[in-house]
Amino acid sequence: MMIRLTRARILTRFIHDVTSDCNFIKNTDIFLYFSIA
């Protein structure tokens, strides 16, 4: 039970990191776009 719980927690942490990375890249793209424009 504990192993399953930690695995889910690690997976959630991983997904959260990936989504925040995507949001960061998206924001950087928007920033660069406005800087060029």
pTM for this model (two decimals): 0.50
pLDDT in tens, 1-37: 567 878 888 888 888 888 888 788 888 888 878 877 6
Q: What is the DSSP letter of 1?
A: -
Give the model's pLDDT for residue 32: 79
